Amino acid sequence: MIIKRAKTQGFCFGVAITVKKAEEAIEREGAEVTTLGHVVHNPQMVAQLEAKGLRNAQSVDEIERGTMFVRAHGLPVETFEKARAKGLTVLDATCPMVTKIHVQAEKLRDEGYKIVVVGDPHHPEVKGTLSHVPGAWCISSADEIDALPRASRVGVVVQSTWNGKGFAEIVRRLTEKYYEVRAVNTICTDTKNRQSEVDGLSREVDVMVVVGGKTSANTRHLAELAAMNGARAYHIEGPAELEAAWFAGVEVAGLMSGASTPGWLVDQVADRMDVLASDGR
């Protein structure tokens, strides 16, 4: 079996920076560094960082002292304020691409546009973006547009890991309802590259394996895109989930990863796929 691997694999640059900053902080401050939510959507990486001493909390109230580490998704403005008011040190590792979304949304608001954020309202990144533009509307599908209030000008930004085709359709539908629509495609370059690669690759293979945390939105979108193109797509978190039956009689398989999956894990998956395809064990 030939395994075709996507060019863009392993950590995106935002996650790579975040993980490096987290490791440096733990080294400097030991067990006094706490994240709100896991640093990356990858259980193996989370386990490694926690073994080194990184703590995890669900809210600022749970952090008694030390450093609050802000992961790549960013955090709502109020959370930064609350942590500082409590005397915590804030180490901000928000991905620059996410910060750019905040800046774009604020700029559009200052220019008089009613802001529409396209994304999952429950996603931490989207919650952070919405906190920068209070009163903004958040939608995750074109079906929600009919229920939006009236406005003359709307300015649109989108979650960094959103599906590009879905975003284009939402913007098209917004133009049918509103007189002026100004949309900034804030889907990050890494996400665009991965989506375009999986789009091409999944048309050339029988089976597509996408590696990444089950809670990772971008990994989920990649597997969905591959399935839409007719490939048998499997979203796994690691080599142990692979099954020999998936590759029986398969001549070409594709392999790709989400942005929060370390490169070494993708290599392990490739090795295991090779073994399963060769001897089925």
Closest CA to 244 of 270, 276, 269, 274: 276
Catalogue the active-site residues: 125
Closest CA to 116 of 158, 83, 82, 85: 158
What is the pattern of x (binds ligand SF4, CB under 6 A) and - over residues 97-116?
xx------------------
72 binding ligand SF4? (CB under 6 A):
yes
Residues 6+ apart with CB under 8 A from 228: none
Beta carbon nearer to ligand SF4, 98 or 209: 98
For the bound state, the minimum distance from the C-beta of residue 164 to ligand SF4, rounded and expressed in Å, comes to 13
For the bound state, the minimum distance from the C-beta of residue 10 to ligand SF4, rounded and expressed in Å, comes to 11
Closest CA to 43 of 208, 215, 210, 190: 215
Closest CA to 210 of 187, 179, 248, 238: 238
Asked whether the beta carbons of 60 and 85 are under 8 A apart, the reply is no
CA distance 123 to 128: 9
212 binding ligand SF4? (CB under 6 A):
no
What is the pattern of x (binds ligand SF4, CB under 6 A) and - over residues 170-189?
------------------x-
What is the pattern of x (binds ligand SF4, CB under 6 A) and - over residues 122-161?
--------------------------------------xx
206 binding ligand SF4? (CB under 6 A):
no
Interface residues with ligand SF4 (CB under 6 A)?
12-15, 72, 95, 97-98, 160-161, 188, 190-191, 218, 259
